[in-house]
Amino acid sequence: MSAKQVHEVVIEANNTLEILERVLRVIRHRGFRVSCMNAVQMNDCNNIKITVTVSSERGIDLLYKQLDKLFDVSKLSVRHITTI
Amino acid sequence: MKATEFIVNALRKQGVNQVFGYPGGAIMPLYDALYDGGVAHLLARHEQGAIMAALGYARAGARVGVCIATSGPGATNLVTGLAEAMADSIPVVAFTGQVPSALIGVDTFQEVDILGMTLSCTKHSFLVEDQNDLDRIIAEAFTIATTGRPGPVLIDIPKDIQLAEMASETVSELPALPPLDGLVDEEVAAARALLHAAKKPVLYVGGGVGMANAVPELRELAAALDIPMVSTLKGIGSADPEHPYYLGMLGMHGLKAANLAVQESDLLIAVGARFDDRVTGKLDEFAPHAKVIHLDIDACEHNKLRVANVAISTDLKLILPALKMSLDIAPWRLHTLEMKVATAFRYDHPGIAIYAPLLLKQLSARLPEDHLVACDVGQHQMWTAQHMTFTQPENLLSSAGFGTMGFGLPAAVGAALARPDAVPVVITGDGSIMMNIQELATINRAKLPVKIVLIDNQRLGMVRQWQTLFFDGRLSQTILDDNPDFVALAAACGIPGETVVVKEQVQPAMDRMLASDGAYFLHVQISEQENVWPLVPPGVNNGEMLEQYDEC
């Protein structure tokens, strides 16, 4: 089994009622596991910042592009944390 | 103005003059607005039929399909169609009624969380919380459905919101779209360098070509390169079928020459295609010697299954002309042509029983130029892809990525409305047609001239074939020898028809079917032992296809 990579993904998105479900669904379905998550409504209440730590044997690029494709996601960044 | 009147006005502003659906409690206000709203509505006999019709309308007519259903079971009956649209990238906007806002979440009659349920099978979705958001939401829904890689969008509207008064009656103009990324010189140069160096290149054509409206650009590129081409199921009709180096469909039931050419190739140019498992077979042995240029509007497809040497995400209409050049590949052209000739299908089937591939080849030759074929899923679908000829991708509607039995009949309903001058044909099987058989009544109600060709082997044929080949012939739940009398069933829905059982009956029956003004039901009985060949078995590469020809 190949090593798992751990990444921190920071997402800024429209603060719709279902935004957490949308993001978490994509993370799960595309083969990533969440180990830590924080979601904070931004100052204008219309946007939300989600910081999530994910791990997978799959390349983070696959997840990045799927999250980037979500209509509500406006800003996205990824940082490699560690290899396990 | 009530919100529902606004919705109908907004639809008209979007250019929608035909919708598909089925009424019910929570969507009654919208149906009241449709009563005299100036938008035609086709009543299907099941919500799944309605959304499949909307998909057929979208695919055949190159426009957005719109369907409408009520809450709860009406909404859940749309789910298969939404998933179908997601898999095959079909632009559709679905409106569902929802229970009143105050009753959401208290397990109301016919309540279901359809937004939550469809997160995975829509490109985007909306639950309308304020009627004054409808202007923005409808504009966004149509934009999302049609731009980039097309797909399904759901708008769920609580009943109280439908009945609410709008603050403004004005439907906004569609927002201007940001321009697509242009060509990147370095990427184009890298792709051209790979092409220039290739000795055995193959153009691998997918459904994205037709959806990008890039068939002319593809054909001009193919003519300039004079290059061997293969097609996915959804790509059929994009490449010119008369091109000497067009080798046909590749993949699990692909043509032998197409699969062998790809396996031998040193460069694959994937155009609007996504390396689907039914195309690649054993992925790590697919085109093992080939470098890859991957052209697709959806960057998510790049490097997902096959790493590309050059990946370009832009409008195919821009990138295809930029790749024109002259290639020095004469020996490769000759080799692929020899393979194409040597492995061509044979139609000299012995005996009097009807041979479905021959029948489909004959039917293809007899259809007028303006026709469309809607398929179901199974053996007949693969025979259609193998043995019929299509000159435009919108002429073959097939559930490719999702493989939805029951797609064909309602898809033809929608397609017939989108293209009233085309002859609409359904090729279906005795398993598939029963999955949306109720739409025979829709065809009769709408007086649509749909020609239905049912290839009946009294089996769930594709599963039966696999049971015969890979499950020791244990025919578990695939024998359908107690099928209904299909011709009588069609007649009960006002559709004339006939049954043919031997070869010599086929041409006269086709005469009657094609000469009929209205719908027609041609019931074709074939041997239950017929198989689809070639077949790439599971776990091997596409060069190791089975080719056992039928003994029946």
CA distances (Å), B189 to each of B184, B225, B314, B322, B358, in order?
9, 16, 15, 9, 46
pLDDT tops 70 at residue A4 = yes
Residues whose CB falls within 8 Å of the CB of residue B506, separated by 6 or more in sequence, listed in order: B354, B359, B362, B500, B524
* C-alpha to C-alpha distance for B499 and B262, rounded to whole angstroms: 41
**Residue B291 contacts A where some CB pair is shorter than 8 Å:** no
Closest CA–CA distance from residue A18 to any residue of chain B (Å):
8
> What pLDDT, on a 0 to 100 scale, did the predictor assign at position A1?
62
Q: Mean pLDDT across the stretch A7-14?
A: 98
**Residue A28 contacts B where some CB pair is shorter than 8 Å:** no
Percent of chain A clearing pLDDT 90 (strictly above): 94
> What pLDDT, on a 0 to 100 scale, did the predictor assign at position B549?
56
DSSP letters, B526-544, are --TT---SSB--TTS-TTS
Mean pLDDT of chain B: 96
| Four-point Cα dihedral B236, B242, B244, B250, nearest 10 | 20
Contact B424, B448 (CB under 8 A): yes
Name the closest residue on chain A to residue B304, using Cα atoms. Answer: A62
- Residue A66 parent element (H or E): helix A60-69
| Pairwise CB contact (< 8 Å): A21 & B304 | no
- Residue B413 parent element (H or E): helix B408-418
Per-residue pLDDT tens over the stretch B391-437: 999 999 999 999 999 999 999 999 999 999 999 999 999 999 999 99
Which among B116, B140, B304 has CB closest to A18?
B116
> What pLDDT, on a 0 to 100 scale, did the predictor assign at position B323?
98
* C-alpha to C-alpha distance for B55 and B414, rounded to whole angstroms: 7
Annotated active-site residue B110? The verdict is yes
**Residue A25 contacts B where some CB pair is shorter than 8 Å:** yes
Surface of A (64-83) touching B: CB under 8 A: 65-66, 69-72
Measured between beta carbons, the chain B residues lying within 8 angstroms of A76 are none
Annotated active-site residue B159? The verdict is yes
> What pLDDT, on a 0 to 100 scale, did the predictor assign at position B500?
98
Annotated active-site residue B47? The verdict is yes
The whole-model pTM stands at 0.97
Closest CA–CA distance from residue B19 to any residue of chain A (Å):
25
* pLDDT confidence tier of residue B130, bands split at 50, 70 and 90: very high
> What pLDDT, on a 0 to 100 scale, did the predictor assign at position B552?
41
pLDDT tops 70 at residue B94 = yes
Q: Mean pLDDT across the stretch B328-354?
A: 96
Q: Mean pLDDT across the stretch B308-317?
A: 96
> What pLDDT, on a 0 to 100 scale, did the predictor assign at position B173?
80
Measured between beta carbons, the chain A residues lying within 8 angstroms of B302 are 65
pLDDT tops 50 at residue B551 = no
* C-alpha to C-alpha distance for B407 and B400, rounded to whole angstroms: 10
Measured between beta carbons, the chain A residues lying within 8 angstroms of B124 are 70-72
* pLDDT confidence tier of residue A47, bands split at 50, 70 and 90: very high
* C-alpha to C-alpha distance for B160 and B163, rounded to whole angstroms: 5
Q: Mean pLDDT across the stretch B104-124?
A: 98
Per-residue pLDDT tens over the stretch B173-190: 877 777 777 899 999 999
Per-residue pLDDT tens over the stretch B460-515: 999 999 999 999 999 999 999 999 999 999 999 999 999 999 999 999 999 999 99
* C-alpha to C-alpha distance for B89 and B206, rounded to whole angstroms: 12
Q: Catalytic one among B252, B462, B513, B545?
A: B462
CA distances (Å), B255 to each of B248, B270, B328, in order?
6, 18, 25
Q: Catalytic one among B14, B52, B159, B513?
A: B159
Q: How many residues appear in chain A?
A: 84
> What pLDDT, on a 0 to 100 scale, did the predictor assign at position B174?
75
What ipTM goes with this model?
0.96
> What pLDDT, on a 0 to 100 scale, did the predictor assign at position B449?
98
| Pairwise CB contact (< 8 Å): A18 & B140 | no
